[in-house]
Amino acid sequence: MAATRNSDFDSPFYQPADKFFPENHGTGLTFDDITLATMYSDILPRDTQLDTRLAKKLQLNIPVISSDMDTVTESRMAIAMALNGGLGLIHYNIPEREQLSEVSRVKNHVHGLIQEPIKVSPDQFIGDVLGMIEHKKFGFSTFPVVDDKGKLVGLLPGHVIKPRYAQRKVTEALQPRAQVQTINVKELGKDPISRADKFFTEHLGIHKLLVVDDKDKLYGLITLSDVERITQERRAQFKPARDERFRLICGAAVSATRNAFGELDRDRILNHVGGLVERGVDVIAVSTAHGHSKGVGDTVKVLRGAFKDLPIIAGNVTSASGVEYLADCGADAIKIGQGPGSICTTRIVAGVGIPQMTALYACSRAAKKKKVSLLSDGGITKSGDIVKALTLSKAVICGGIFAGCNEAPGDVIEISGKFYKQYRGMGSLAAMKAGSAARYGHEKNPAQKVAPEGVEALKEACGSVDRVLAQLIGGIQSGMGYLGAKNLEQLREKARYIRVTAAGMREAAPHDVVELKTGN
Ligand code: IMP
C-alpha cells in the first residue's frame, strides 16, 4: 500500500513543535527562521475551512484581525474585516464617545444600505444639482428629495437634470412622495438584501429603493446594482462574521486607564466598557505593550467581574507566565507579540522582546493548560507568516498589511507619482501625543521626556481590504493544502518545523531572475 503517513526517516529533520522548540531553546526564532514541511495530503486548498473560535461567544470565519491602531482600524476597516469573516478592533486613540460611535457604525451597518445617501432639497435649483454632480463627480443622477426635517418629499429623476431646466426648482421637477416606492426600515427584517432583491423583482424598472422610518424620514437607500453584487458575493466561501442578531461583529480596545493619582480608574473603565457593551460590542481588548503587569491584570479582573459573558482579549505578553497571569485574571484570548511589529522599535529602545515563533511556542503550552486562545500580534508581512503563526495560535493580528488599504483611516498621499497612506506605531511620539501614551506606560504629556517605541511611516496604497484578504486567504489555504490540513486544528497538529539558514532564506525568495511582475 502506498505510504500516506510520514516515514520515520523524516522525523529527525521535520519535528513537531514540542520537540523542535525545546531543542532550539535559548535561540529566539521568528517566521523567516523556520519553514514547514509538507505532509501527505488529500485536501485541496479550496476545501479547507478557516473558522476559528477565540472565546465561547466569539467565533470568526477567517483567522484574521485588524490591529487596534489609529492608522488601521476604525469603523470602515472593522466593517470590511467582518464582511470578510474576520474582526476589526477599534483603536482607543480617540475620545471615548467617538469610540462608542465607531462601534455603533459597525453594529448598525446594513450591508447594501447606503445610510447617508446624497439628497437634495425642494428649494434647490436644478442648476445647483447639476453643479454638485459635476463638482463631486457623481456617477449617478437620481436623488431623494427631503425637507429640512429629513422627511421624504419625493424623488428627483435623472432625466430632468439637464442644463435646459437649470432655472427650475427641484420641487417643480420631482416625482411626488405618493408616487415613490418606499419600504419601512422595520420591514427589512434580518436579511435586508433578500427583502430588497424581492422588491426589485416585483417592481419592474425600479433601480432604487428608498427606506423610511415610521415618521417617513429618509433612513437610507438600497440600489439594485449593490443588491446584485452582494447576492453574487454571498456564494463566496467565507461568510461575514455576525452576532446572533445578524449584525456584523466588532471589537474595541481599551487601556488600563489611570486617574489623576495614578490609580486604576475602575469607574471610568467600567462606564466606558458598559457603553460599548450597550452598543453591542462583541469583544473588548485590553491592549497595552506590557500585559504581564498589575494594571492590565486588574483591568481584566474588573471587566470580568462586571461582564461575566463578555469575550476579553488581553496583552501583550511573550511568556507562559504572562499567559497564565492574564488567563487567571479572566481573559479568554491573549495577544502575543513584543517587538515584532513593522513600525515597532521596542527591542531597539528598551532592549526587550522575543522573536515571534519562539514567543508563540513558549506561550502555547500555558494556553493549552489554561484553555485560552492565543492571537499572534505583529510582524506578519506575507501569507506564509500567517500559516506559520497559525500552527501555534488561533488567529493573527495585522497592522501594516492593512494600513495601505482604502478602508484604513487617513488620506492617500502622492509622492513622485506613487500613492501612500500614513502608518504609525501607537508608541510613536505623534500617536502618544494623540492619546495612546497609556499603552506604553507614559502620561499623555508632550512636554515630558518619553522614549517613543514606534515610528511614523508610510505604506504604499494597496486598494481594498477585500483584495488584500483574498491574497492572504489564498496563501493560508495553500499552506493548509501542503500540510494535508482540512481545518486550523489539523494545521496545528500536523505542523512539522525545520530551521532555515540565510542561504535557505535566499533560496525561498525569487532569485537569479529578472522579475517582471512581483508575486503580490
Ligand atoms: P505589524 O502588523 O507588523 O505592522 O504590527 C502591528 C502590531 O504592532 C500591532 O498590532 C501592535 O501590537 C504593535 N504595535 C503598534 N504600535 C506599536 C508601537 O509603536 N511600538 C511597538 N509595537 C507597536
Along the 520 residues of the chain, how does pLDDT read in single tens digits? 676 777 889 999 999 999 999 999 999 999 999 999 999 999 999 999 999 999 999 999 999 999 999 999 999 999 999 999 999 999 999 999 999 999 999 998 877 888 888 999 999 999 999 999 988 878 888 999 999 999 999 999 999 999 999 999 999 999 999 999 999 999 988 888 889 999 999 999 888 999 999 999 999 999 998 888 777 767 677 889 999 887 899 999 999 999 888 899 999 999 999 999 999 999 999 999 999 999 999 999 999 999 999 999 999 999 999 999 999 999 999 999 999 999 999 999 999 999 999 999 999 999 999 999 999 999 999 999 999 999 999 999 999 999 999 999 998 999 999 999 999 999 999 999 887 776 676 765 555 657 899 999 999 999 999 999 999 999 999 999 999 999 999 999 999 999 999 999 999 999 989 888 765 5
Q: Is 353 in the pocket of ligand 1 (CB under 6 A)?
A: no
Q: Which grid coordinates are listed for 184?
A: 419601512
Catalytic: which of 398, 439, 462, 496? Answer: 439
Q: Is 343 in the pocket of ligand 1 (CB under 6 A)?
A: yes
Nearest ligand 1 atom to the CA of 342 is 3
Closest CA to 107 of 234, 275, 314: 275
Q: How far is the CA of 109 from the centre of ligand 1 (A)?
A: 28
CA distances to 292, 298, 316 from 95, in Å: 26, 22, 23
Q: Is 102 in the pocket of ligand 1 (CB under 6 A)?
A: no
Q: Is 408 in the pocket of ligand 1 (CB under 6 A)?
A: no
| 202: Cα within 13 Å, side-chain hemisphere | 9
Q: What's the pTM? A: 0.85
Cis bond before residue 316 (omega within 30° of 0):
yes
Quote the CA–CA distance of 501 and 59 in Å, as a whole number.
Answer: 37
**Parallel, antiparallel, or unpaired for β 418-424 and 412-415?**
antiparallel
Catalytic: which of 344, 363, 398, 462? Answer: 344
Site to substitute for ligand 1 among 65, 426, 455, most atoms within 8 A of C-beta:
426
Q: Is 439 a catalytic residue?
A: yes
Instruction: Please tell me whether residue 82 adopts helix, strand or coil conformation.
Output: helix
Q: Is 344 a catalytic residue?
A: yes
Site to substitute for ligand 1 among 343, 396, 398, most atoms within 8 A of C-beta:
343
Quote the CA–CA distance of 234 and 489 in Å, as a whole number.
Answer: 26
Q: DSSP character for 260? A: T
Q: DSSP character for 217? A: B
